[in-house]
Amino acid sequence: MKIVVLDGYGMNPGDLSWDDLKALGDCTVYDRTAAADIVIRAKGAEAILTNKVVISAEIIAALPELKYIGVTATGYNVVDITAAKERGIVVTNIPAYSTMSVAQMVFAHILNIAQQVSLHSQEVKNGRWAINPDFCFWDTSLIELDGLKLGLIGLGHTGNATARVALGFGMNVCAYTSKSQLQLPPEIKIMTMDEIFMECDIVSLHCPLTEETNNLVNAKRLASMKPTAILINTGRGQLINEQDLADALNNGVIYAAGVDVLSSEPPRADNPLLAAKNCFITPHIAWATKAARIRLMNVVTENVKAFIAGKAINNVAK
């Protein structure tokens, strides 16, 4: 079987091995592939793997030998699933490989905002502490999480993991979810979405990107939040109207935001969040711990192996 990995660098910049995948066939790994090169590189391949390279209906039509598309991520919106189904092409994804890493990033942002770790560390390095007349100093309000209310929009794998961490900090956890209260532990209280935005001290987004959730966080919702509220997004950038969030931060409508995702990645130079007050941005790395990427690589290989054996798993194009 000819296997082509179109953009392998993101999941494996060199610290993991492709050997197990290469053992399954004639496998070529490209670090990155431009749109114009997809068909050329994938010509004759029965299996292609992609992370962010878009596999459109036109691409699928131009690859008659193609039988399998492996998405090396959980979200699979980069593939035209309808076109794949029409051709009988199996499309697989990698569910839940980065659950704990994403929950960890949620709290990395929360704790950084609560204690302003990066700001004060830099001030110490700048010599501020050495010349301070007192034994300590702080330039912002320092926030204790115990007793604060965390609202989760979505309660899947990452939402649940984040809830467990929050409970360990003594936080009161609320969730907007399709699950019933009977399906949840008593420590998690179901609330409406409007209630979460109005009442919670911190709101964290854990829902998929759909037509209904696109621009879920907009000027109206932001205006309903507490002026001391913190917004966290480790889901998808398009869940937030970025101009509305920038305006809310700059005008003190909410206190701060921590985001690991943006609507366009890499961001455009004019993205309003880049210059917004109290907006802390990481470059889509919540998923990228080495432990998570090892799990990712293992499931990528198992997905291809199962397809070759005629017993496809994690097939999202059924």
Catalytically active residues are: 236, 265, 284
Look at residues 220, 293, 233 and name the one whose alpha carbon lies nearest to residue 263.
233
Q: Find out whether 282 and 260 touch, Cβ atoms under 8 Å.
A: yes
Length of the chain: 318
Q: Find out whether 112 and 258 touch, Cβ atoms under 8 Å.
A: yes
DSSP strands (E only) in the chain: 2-5, 26-29, 47-50, 68-71, 90-92, 149-153, 172-176, 188-190, 202-205, 230-233, 256-259, 279-281
Q: Find out whether 141 and 116 touch, Cβ atoms under 8 Å.
A: no
Q: Find out whether 49 and 8 touch, Cβ atoms under 8 Å.
A: yes
Q: Which tokens hold the place of 226?
A: 């507490």
Cα–Cα distance, 285 to 114 (Å, whole number): 20
> Parallel, antiparallel, or unpaired: how do β-strands 2-5 and 47-50 relate?
parallel
Cα–Cα distance, 216 to 153 (Å, whole number): 10
Cα–Cα distance, 75 to 52 (Å, whole number): 10
Look at residues 93, 138, 148 and name the one whose alpha carbon lies nearest to residue 115.
138
Cα–Cα distance, 240 to 185 (Å, whole number): 29
C-alpha angle 98/104/110, rounded to 5°? 140
